[in-house]
Structures are given as C-alpha cells and as structure tokens.
C-alpha cells in the first residue's frame, strides 16, 4: 500500500515512486494535498479501483505526469483518471500501456495550452480522432499508436499543431487519405502511420529521407508509391516483393544501388516504373517483359550495361485498362459494379466520403527534350521507354518496332552499335525519338518519314552516313541539330550536297583506285628510264670506240669526277635511288 505520510509532505515538488508494487487508487487521494507538487512519476505500479469518498479538487498543478504500465490485476478497461480534468499547466503527459478506454482525451490538449508531449500509446481508445480547431502551438510530440482509432486523420491536424515534430499513429484502424498538409510541415521529423487501413496513395517525395527501404514495407492495398528526390540508399530489398496492387513505383533521384531484382515480375499490376537517376547496374532484366500492364519505363541516368532485351518489343503498352492511373486512389470507396458512381467521381474529382481530400496521380517524365507532368486522363494514354544515359551495348533490337502505341523512346547517350532498324517506321504514335550520342552506323531509314506524329527527332553524334530522309511531313520541321555530329551525312538541311559528298565506302574505293593508278605510273616510268639509260650507255661506248679524241676527253672527265666524289656521294646516291625505284 502507498504510505499515508505522503500527504504531509506539502513542500514536495518532485515525486518518483516508479517500478514498485504500490497500489495507487484511481482517485489519487494520497497526493491531493501536495500543493507544490510539479512532477509525478508512478511508472509500473498497480492502479486499484478502491471506493473513495474524496471529491475535492487536488491542490497541485502538475507540469509532468508519467503513469505508463500501471496495470491492474483484473486487466479491466479503465477511464482516464479524473484528477487530470483539473490540471491546466501540464507540459508532459505519459499514460501509455494502461488499457484506458473511451475516446482520445483531447481535452488534455485544450486545457493545457503549454503541453508539449502527449503519449497515449498502447491503450484501448476507440472512435475517430477529433481535434479542436484552436491553435496549440507548443505541442511537438503526439503518440497515439497501438489503439483502436478509426476514421480519417483530421485534415486540420497541421493547423492545430503547426510545430509538430513527432507524430505516431501506427497500429490503429485509420483509413481514407493521409492529409496532404503533412508534407508541408517543416518541423516534422518522425512520422509513423504504419499498420492502418490507408491508402492507396503514398507520396513522400522531395524530402530528406535516408537509409534503406525497410523490408517490412509491404502494404497490401497500396497502388501509388512516390519516394523520388530523397537520399535512400542500398539495393531494392524485398520491400515490394509480391505487391500485386502497386500500379506506380517511383524511386527516382535517390542513391539506390544493385540490380533490378528478378522478382520484379511479381508486381503484376505495375504500369509505371521510374528508377531514374540512381546507381543501379547490371543488365536490364528480361523479367520486365512479363509485366503486361507496364507502359512507362524510365531507367535513365544509371549504370545499366549489356544489350537491350528484345522482348521489350512484346510489351502491349495498353491504351486501355490504365484507369487506375487516374482514379486508383478511389478504389476503397467505389463499388466496382456501380459504373455511374465511378464516372461521377472521375468527372467531378470529388470523393463523396471525403469531399476535401481529392488526390490525383501525377507522373513527371522527360520527353520531347523537356520535363513534363502528366496527370488524369492524359496520363492514362501516355507510354514511354527511357533507357538513356547508361552503358548499354549491342544493336537496337528490331523488335522495338512492334511498340506501335509508344509515344516516346529515348536510347541516347549509350554505346549502341549497328543500324537504325527500319521497323521503327511502324511506331505510328511516337512523338519523340532520341537515338543521339551512340555509335550507330549506316543510313537513316527513309521509311521514317511515315511517322506523322513525330515532334522531336535526334540522331546527333553517331557514325551515320548517306542522305538524310526527305524533308517532307514531320521531317520538314527538323533542323540541322537533329543530325549534327555525323560527318558523312548529307542533305539540303546540312548544306552538303549528296552528289559531291564521298561516303566512307566511296572514299575507300577512290583511294584504292588511286593506288592502282600510281603503281602503273611508277612501273612505266621505271621501264622508260632503264631503256633510255641503256641507249645512252651504248651511244657513249660507240662514240668512244670510234673517236680517239672523245675517248681521251672522256677519261679526263671521269678522273675529275672521281676526285670530286671523294668529297661528295651525291652522284652515287642519285644513281642508287633511281635504280631502287625501278626494282
């Protein structure tokens, strides 16, 4: 039992009797006369429900009250101690793990305007979380996790607690939408909403989140996950394994490493995969080809290597069955067989259950040489593959020409070789085609002029040759920078006439022809020289033999020549050089 002498210690300011076996009556009568008491800690003792005739208001005004794990032997549900109704100066309240029942005592917040920390974790509070609209600016930490709360998180939570730093609402039965205002709370550093009935929509983008993605992150109903623009690192763990409900997975702009796991095919509903600007490496897995709903793939600005899987050409890139990109976050509130109800939501953008909580899926992608946001119905029709800025090698698979519904294809800044597939002429819906900064060779297929939807086209900085496509239809709108960096391309736009431009093969042939002509010329010269040389020698011999005067003169000249050659080998050098050329 609690000693009765406590009531005589009227000057006592701090009382800590934690971790004992005292029986504390719910009336708190033994402490009622401690008028100077400011801090009371009764952790891990026993609360008893003894009859009490004490009805006076306690004389103390506490600043700190700590009563966690004060259990009863019967483990009965209990109400919040009534003496707290008369406290107006509290700064710290911990009533956790006491099996308290009823609604959340938000009156503690209203009565105590200086309250900073409210801990109600591990009780049996039920019903919705109702908050006052009044500003409570001092509160920095609220923990109401592990209760039985239901309904939606109040949308006014941010304006009620503008300086909130820690909010823990896990292990309840909250549902609906997470208030958008939470993303704008500049002081919020800890947020735990796990193990509830939220969501299909999670957007924690453009924060300063760090560490790895928890393996336990596997919500059963989530459809749209946006975590881009953080500092997440490490490989893709089993966090999303077998999450068949996920439609959008946006992890771009982080520090993620490793390869795309082979279990990616278990995300059977995946329509949008954004892994841009990370440190992924390895090959682009063929398991992506098993995702039959996949319509937007952005793997750019990573370190992927190896060939482009030809099976990507088998993706259906559906123009239909993508309504979840526009309205997926209404799933829990829409009857599947009530098409009129669903259409009304689609047209008005209003959720009748939560009229002030309309979310719209937005995807930001790079296309047409710019950065664009797509949302709503337009997003439902957008299809794209972006593999740019990697280390991909090999030929461009001709099978990619089967992607007849694709709107944007970017393979630039890789190490691709071979020719541009003529099958690209079948990309009838394509608006942007970028093959620049590779090692492609050969000619640009003239069949590409049939692409009437093409707005942006670039094959700059490759090894292409020959004439550029005829400047008609869409190709009449492309300027010189679409082709720059290809020395052997020609055409009117490039200010190079194809009739005067030698392709690499032509130049090679010309060089070979010139080489053969040169050999023939050298051979003729040497034969002519030898014949002339022999004729001159014979003439000199005949003259010297017939005429003695010329014979004496000749030997006199040879004597002088020999004397001169002692100091110069020019004559010998010239004779040797001429004969060497003729050998």
d(CA 64, CA 30): 17
d(CA 93, CA 112): 10
Q: Superfamily assignment of 384-501 in CATH?
A: Ribonuclease Inhibitor (3.80.10.10)
The mean predicted confidence, pLDDT, of the chain is 78
Residue 15 has pLDDT above 80, yes or no: yes
Q: How many residues does the chain have?
A: 583
Residue ranges of the domains in the chain? 331-379, 384-501, 513-582
Lowest pLDDT segment from 21-30, 302-311, 412-421, 573-582:
573-582
Beta carbons within 10 angstroms of residue 205's beta carbon: 18
Report the run of H or E that residue 467 belongs to, with start and end: strand 463-467
CB 95 within 8 Å of CB 121: no
Lowest pLDDT segment from 271-280, 363-372, 386-395, 558-567:
558-567
Residue in 77, 124, 116 with CA at minimum distance from that of residue 93 = 116
**What mean pLDDT do residues 145-157 have?**
89
**What mean pLDDT do residues 242-268 have?**
91
Query: What's the pLDDT band for 252 if we cut at 50, 70, 90?
Result: very high
Residue 25, SS3 per DSSP: strand
* pLDDT, tens only, 17-61: 888 878 777 777 778 788 888 888 888 778 776 655 556 788 888
- b/e string for 206-217 if b means 16 or more Cβ within 10 A? eeeeeeebeeeb
**What mean pLDDT do residues 70-90 have?**
76
Q: Which residues contact 195 (CB under 8 A, 6 or more apart)?
A: 170, 171, 172
Beta carbons within 10 angstroms of residue 457's beta carbon: 23
Q: How many Cα atoms occupy the beta-carbon half-sphere of 579 within 13 Å? A: 8
Residue 519 has pLDDT above 90, yes or no: no
First to last CA, the chain: 126
**What mean pLDDT do residues 398-408 have?**
92
The percent of residues above 70 in pLDDT, for the chain, comes to: 72
> Which comes out higher in pLDDT, residue 336 or 141?
141
> Which comes out higher in pLDDT, residue 145 or 527?
145
pLDDT at 357: 39
**What mean pLDDT do residues 141-160 have?**
90
Using CB atoms within 10 Å of the CB of residue 536, give its burial: 0 to 12 exposed, 13 to 18 middle, 19+ buried: exposed
pLDDT at 529: 65
Q: How many Cα atoms occupy the beta-carbon half-sphere of 151 within 13 Å? A: 12
Strand partners, 408: 384, 432
Residue 457 has pLDDT above 60, yes or no: yes
Q: Which residues contact 21 (CB under 8 A, 6 or more apart)?
A: 45, 46
- DSSP string across 277-340: SS--EEEPPGGGGG-TT--EEE--SSEEEEPPPGGGGG----SSS-THHHHGGGGGGS-TT-HH
pLDDT at 214: 77
d(CA 26, CA 516): 113
Residue 394 has pLDDT above 90, yes or no: yes
Structure tokens that stand for 83 in this block: 């003496």
- DSSP string across 217-275: ---SS--EEE--SSEEEE---GGGTT-TT--EEE--SSEE-S---GGGGG-TT--EEE-
**What mean pLDDT do residues 498-525 have?**
47
Residue 70 has pLDDT above 90, yes or no: no
* pLDDT, tens only, 99-116: 888 899 888 888 998 999
d(CA 375, CA 381): 10
Residue 92, SS3 per DSSP: strand
Residue in 430, 381, 379 with CA at minimum distance from that of residue 401 = 430
pLDDT at 50: 63
Per DSSP bridges, beta strands 231-234 and 210-211 are: parallel
Strand partners, 434: 410, 458
Q: Which of 19-28, 164-173, 316-325 has the highest mean pLDDT?
A: 164-173
Lowest pLDDT segment from 155-159, 379-383, 398-402, 503-507:
503-507
Residue 523 has pLDDT above 60, yes or no: no
> Which comes out higher in pLDDT, residue 70 or 8?
70
Residue in 394, 454, 390, 389 with CA at minimum distance from that of residue 424 = 454
pLDDT at 254: 95
**What mean pLDDT do residues 461-475 have?**
93
Residue 467 has pLDDT above 60, yes or no: yes
d(CA 483, CA 168): 57
**What mean pLDDT do residues 177-205 have?**
80
Residue 459, SS3 per DSSP: coil
> Which comes out higher in pLDDT, residue 560 or 308?
308
What is each CA distance from 511 to 488, 497, 514, 517, in whole angstroms?
17, 21, 5, 10
> Which comes out higher in pLDDT, residue 315 or 333?
315
CA dihedral 267, 269, 274, 280 (to 10 degrees): 20
- b/e string for 256-281 if b means 16 or more Cβ within 10 A? bbeebbeebbbbebbbbbbbbbbebe
């Amino acid at each position: 039992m609690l000693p009765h002498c406590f009531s005589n210690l009227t000057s006592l300011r701090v009382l800590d009797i934690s971790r004992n076996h005292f029986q504390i009556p719910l009336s708190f009568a033994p402490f009622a006369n401690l008028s100077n008491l400011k801090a009371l800690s009764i952790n891990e003792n026993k609360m008893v429900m003894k009859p009490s005739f004490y009805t006076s208001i306690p004389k103390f005004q506490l600043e700190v009250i700590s009563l966690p794990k004060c259990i009863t032997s019967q483990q009965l549900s209990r109400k919040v101690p009534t003496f707290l109704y008369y406290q107006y100066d509290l700064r710290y309240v911990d009533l956790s793990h006491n099996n308290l029942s009823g609604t959340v005592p938000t009156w503690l917040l209203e009565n105590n305007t200086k309250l900073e920390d409210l801990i109600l974790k591990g009780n049996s509070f039920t019903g919705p979380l109702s908050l006052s609209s009044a500003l409570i600016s001092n509160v920095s930490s609220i923990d109401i996790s592990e209760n039985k709360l239901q309904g939606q998180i109040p949308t006014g939570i941010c304006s009620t607690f503008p300086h909130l730093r820690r909010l823990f609402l896990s292990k309840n039965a909250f549902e609906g939408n997470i208030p958008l205002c939470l993303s704008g709370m500049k002081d919020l550093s800890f947020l735990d909403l796990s193990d509830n009935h939220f969501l299909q929509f999670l957007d924690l983008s453009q924060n300063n989140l760090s560490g790895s993605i928890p393996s336990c992150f596997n919500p059963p109903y989530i459809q749209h996950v946006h975590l881009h623009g953080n500092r997440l690192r490490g490989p893709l763990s089993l966090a999303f394994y077998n999450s068949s409900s996920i439609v959008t997975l946006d992890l771009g702009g982080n520090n993620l490493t490793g390869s795309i796991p082979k279990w990616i095919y278990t995300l059977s509903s995946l329509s949008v995969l954004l892994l841009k600007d990370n440190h992924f490496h390895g090959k682009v897995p063929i398991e992506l080809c098993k995702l039959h709903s996949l319509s937007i793939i952005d793997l750019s600005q990573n370190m992927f290597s190896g060939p482009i899987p030809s099976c990507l050409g088998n993706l259906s890139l559906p123009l239909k069955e993508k309504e979840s990109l526009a309205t997926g976050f209404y799933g829990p509130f829409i009857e599947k067989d009530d098409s009129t109800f669903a259409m009304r939501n689609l047209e008005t953008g209003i959720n009748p259950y939560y009229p002030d909580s309309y979310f719209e899926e937005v995807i930001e992608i790079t296309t047409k040489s710019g950065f664009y946001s797509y949302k709503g119905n337009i997003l439902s029709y957008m299809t794209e593959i972006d593999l740019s800025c990697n280390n991909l090698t090999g030929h461009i698979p001709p099978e990619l020409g089967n992607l007849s519904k694709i709107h944007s294809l970017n393979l630039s800044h890789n190490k691709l070789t071979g020719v541009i597939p003529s099958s690209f002429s079948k990309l009838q819906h394509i608006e942007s085609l970028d093959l620049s900064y590779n090692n492609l060779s050969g000619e640009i297929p003239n069949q590409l002029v049939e692409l009437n939807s093409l707005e942006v086209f670039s094959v700059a900085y490759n090894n292409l040759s020959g004439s550029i496509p005829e400047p008609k239809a869409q190709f009449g709108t492309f300027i010189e920078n679409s082709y720059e960096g290809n020395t052997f391309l020609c055409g009117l736009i490039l200010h190079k006439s194809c009739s005067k431009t030698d392709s690499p093969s032509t130049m090679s042939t010309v060089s070979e022809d010139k080489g053969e002509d040169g050999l023939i010329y050298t051979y003729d010269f040497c034969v002519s020289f030898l014949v002339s040389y022999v004729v001159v020698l014979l003439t000199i011999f005949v003259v010297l033999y017939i005429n003695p005067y010329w014979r004496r003169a000749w030997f006199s000249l040879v004597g002088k020549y020999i004397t001169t050659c002692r100091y110069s080998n020019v004559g010998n050098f010239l004779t040797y050089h001429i004969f060497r050329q003729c050998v």
